[in-house]
Amino acid sequence: MLKKITACLDMVGCPNRCKHCWLKITPNGKLAAKDLKYVANAFRPFAEILEVTGTYREEDYSDNYKEVWTLSTELSDIKQPHFENISYWRAVRDDEYISWLYSLGVRAAQLTIFGNEDTTDYFVGRKGAFKEILQTIALLIQNKIAPRIQTFIYKSNIAQLQYIQQLIEKLDLEDRCRSFDKSFAFFLHQGSCEGENAQFYDVWITPDDIEKIPRKLVNYTEKYFGVTDIREILGEAEQNLCHQLLADTSTRNIVEDSPVFYIDKNFDVYPNFTTPSTPWLLGNLKTNGAEYIVKNYINNATLAQQTLLTVPLNEMVRRHGNLNSQRLFCVDDYKNFLLTKELHHGIH
C-alpha cells in the first residue's frame, strides 16, 4: 500500500499545440465523469490517501469543468486549491470562468507568452492565442486576480524580450496589480529539453545570450525564483555539466511512497517523470488493472526505471553528452535529457 496516489486523468486534452510542450502533443480525448470515478475506484485500494484530477494538460478545458472540479474534490481525500495554471481558451469564451476561479480562492494566474502576436501564436500553435491572452489579462485584473507571465526563451525568440518588457509597461501590470494589493510577477527560462521542447536543442540558449535579456526581466525572474543570479535558473553550459557528470557513477531509483500517475485518454498509465512515453508505460488501467500498474511502479519494472536503476550517469554522458556544447541546462533537466537519449537512441 502506498501512502498517497495522485491520479491525473487526461479527460479532454488541450486546445493548444505548444511547440515547447514537455508532455508532447497527443490527440484530445472525450472522457466523461464516470471515467474519473472509474479511475478513483481503481486506485483507491492501493493508497492510504487518494487524490484525483481530471487533467494533466489544460486546466478546465472540458465544458463541464465545474462538474469535473466538484467531482475531483469529492473523489479526493485531500482538498487541494485550484492551480494557478488556468485556461485562457475558456476565459474568453465563458463569462463565468474567471469569477468562478476567484470564488475558489485563485488570486494569481499564469499565462505564457513568447513575444509579439505572431511569435506567440506560432509557439502556441494556434492563431488567436496572443489576443486571447491579452483579453484574459484584462479579465483577470477586473476580477482582482494578478496575472503572472511566463516566457520560454530560445535563440530564436530572445530578440522578442524587449517587446515583452514594453508590453508589461504598456499594460501597467505592476501598478494595476498593486491597486488590489497583489504583486505582478514575470519569469523566463528555457524549460526542460524534453517532449516537444527537444526540437529546440539547436537554438538552445548559450551563456552569451544572457546579456541580451533586458535587465528588468532578469530582475523579475530573480525575484520570482528567490535567487540573486539568473544563472542559477538558466543553469550551466552542457560542456561543463558533461565534465562533472563523467565522474558521476550514480544510478537513480525514482520510486516514492506518494507517486503521481498520468493516465491518458486510452487509460495508459505513466509515472509523472519526464515525458509520458512507451519506455515509461506502467500498464493499461482497463486491461491490466491498478494492482499490476502499482506493482510495476514499485518494482521499477518499466524500461525507463530499469535504465535509471542500472545505467550509471557517466555511461550515459559518454554515449550522449556533447562536450563541445555551450547550451545552458539545469543539472536535473540535463540528467533527464541524457536518460531520454539513452531510452530512445540506446547504446551507440
Nearer to ligand SF4, 21 or 263 (CB): 21
Chain positions 49 to 68 lying near ligand SF4, rule: CB under 6 A, are 57-58
Question: Contact with ligand SF4 (CB under 6 A): which of 12, 23, 293, 316?
Answer: 23
Scanning 9-17, 96-104, 166-174, 263-271 for contacts with ligand SF4 by CB under 6 A, the matching segment is 9-17
Taking the complex as a whole, how short is the minimal distance between the CB of residue 59 and ligand SF4, in angstroms?
9
Identify the H or E element spanning 133.
Answer: helix 129-142
With beta carbons less than 8 A apart as the criterion, state whether 39 and 52 touch.
Answer: yes
Q: Crossing angle of helices 129-142/117-124, nearest 10°?
A: 100
Question: Contact with ligand SF4 (CB under 6 A): which of 5, 12, 16, 137?
Answer: 16
With beta carbons less than 8 A apart as the criterion, state whether 102 and 143 touch.
Answer: yes
Cα–Cα distance measured from residue 234 to residue 330, given in angstroms and rounded to the nearest whole number:
6
Question: Quick one: residue 154, left, alpha or beta (phi over 0 = left, psi -120 to 50 = alpha)?
Answer: beta
Scanning 13-21, 94-102, 160-168, 260-268 for contacts with ligand SF4 by CB under 6 A, the matching segment is 13-21
In sequence order, the β-bridge partners of residue 112 are 150
Nearer to ligand SF4, 63 or 172 (CB): 63
Question: Is residue 133 near ligand SF4 by the rule CB under 6 A?
Answer: no
Taking the complex as a whole, how short is the minimal distance between the CB of residue 292 and ligand SF4, in angstroms?
28
Residue burial 148-158, b: 16+ Cβ < 10 Å; e: rest: bbbbbbbbbbb
Question: Is residue 263 near ligand SF4 by the rule CB under 6 A?
Answer: no
Nearer to ligand SF4, 59 or 238 (CB): 59
Distance of CA 323 to the CA centre of its chain: 28
In sequence order, the β-bridge partners of residue 260 are 6
Scanning 14-22, 218-226, 262-270, 339-347 for contacts with ligand SF4 by CB under 6 A, the matching segment is 14-22
Nearer to ligand SF4, 51 or 60 (CB): 60
Question: Is residue 275 near ligand SF4 by the rule CB under 6 A?
Answer: no
Distance of CA 229 to the CA centre of its chain: 23
Can you give the binding site for ligand SF4, defined by CB under 6 A? 14, 16-18, 21, 23, 57-58
